[in-house]
Amino acid sequence: MEGEKVALLFGAFLCLSYAYEVSVSCMMAYDEGGASAVFSSPECPQWVFSAAIQNGTDNCLVATHQGRRKYQEDRVICYPRVTLPVLGEDGPNEASLGIAAVFDGHGGREASEMASQKFLDYFLLHVVFNTYKKLFSHSKEHEEAVDEESVHGILEKALLRTIQDIDSEFSQEALNNDYISGSTATVVLWMNGQILVGNLGDSKALLCSRRTHFDQDSEGDLGTKLQAEELTKDHHPDRDDEKARIEAAGGVVLVIGVPRVNGILAVSRSIGDIGLKRYGVIAELEVTGWRRLTTEDCYLVIGSDGIFERMSPQDVCDILHGGHAKENETSIDTSLCPSSSSLADCIVQNAFSKGSSDNLSVIVIPMRQDPPSLEHNEQT
């Protein structure tokens, strides 16, 4: 009877959110093997979450460039409005979430390709299953509905599990196919005026926020600029905590141009890179925690490390401000930004013209425009 109750509760919840049914054995598959086990299990239906993606590309300005490399190994995803199940005061509801990510591949495109293809489905599956677990535990304990803090916790857990699952699945595929590739991952979620950032590797996320300053060339008048704030910390092998983990695992950090794990890999966290996993390279996201945006926060930017090879985060914000920085403070070339170019294109073209040798990818998300409306819409 208890098993039937579980199936009915979960079936009702999924019918409300995605019109899917699931068996208890499918839940068991999830507990044992995560998202990949659900998608491969004959006990589970063919989960397809494409219906969760709402139309529209506003709030997502994207540009990529192969640069001076032989191959383009960067992959990007940006979904400004994704419907997901949440628990409101009156039971299961739906909300919208923004998701954007940059996966910067190295040693081949296989890892970044898998990450970009599987991220959304795996993430939403984790959200559904973890929301169900909250629903069922609350029904047993006769507690009230999950609050916003709990929803944030579900999303953060889903994000961490998604990257873990992708890394595990890709690592097995790499073993089977002799892949040596790996990928960074920098992911941003935004919901109800708050953002969550998770990263591994050296791609960056940053905020460009409006700040008032004294303009010395205007007789001390007040002016405005967009000030850069990095939201991520690069996982370089010589970072104290990263180096300690690598050395504890038996690896070494050697400087060959830049610090590298065993003289090979220039990042200490990544998806894949299976030959270096035993030496302390991990696929554990470093997560910032949820942060509330202010009216001064204008743009969120996610970029592969090629963007920042020859430009600083402040250079990027200067471009988004319209290139009005003084000539002696920046070398931004505004001629590369015709009115027909998007802000993302302008950033990529400046990075390329300044001599970046890497693949170039950037996502620009305007935050002063209202983010996706994430009110919990009661379903009928």
State which residues form the domain around 105.
59-116+179-214+223-325+332-366
Q: Is 53 helix (H, G, I), strand (E, B) or coil?
A: strand
| Counted domains in the chain | 1
**DSSP per-residue string spanning 276-310:** GGGGT-B-PPEE---EE--TTEEEEEEE-TTTTSS
Answer yes or no: is 282 within a domain.
yes
Of 184 and 214, the structure prediction assigns the larger pLDDT to 184
Of 156 and 56, the structure prediction assigns the larger pLDDT to 156
- pLDDT tens by residue, 326-347: 433 445 666 667 665 689 999 9
Answer yes or no: is 204 within a domain.
yes
Answer yes or no: is 312 within a domain.
yes
Whether 286 and 200 have beta carbons less than 8 Å apart is answered as yes
- pLDDT(274) > 80: yes
CA distance 237 to 268: 5
Residue 211 has a CB neighbour count (10 Å cut-off) of 12
CA distance 375 to 94: 9
Answer yes or no: is 244 within a domain.
yes
Whether 134 and 235 have beta carbons less than 8 Å apart is answered as no
Q: Which residues face 4 on adjacent strands?
A: none
Answer yes or no: is 28 within a domain.
no
CATH number of the domain enclosing 357: 3.60.40.10
pLDDT of residue 11: 43
- pLDDT tens by residue, 235-262: 999 999 999 999 999 999 999 999 999 9
CA distance 147 to 180: 43
CA distance 207 to 274: 33
**pTM confidence score:** 0.85
Answer yes or no: is 243 within a domain.
yes
Answer yes or no: is 126 within a domain.
no
Answer yes or no: is 234 within a domain.
yes
Residue 150 has a CB neighbour count (10 Å cut-off) of 15
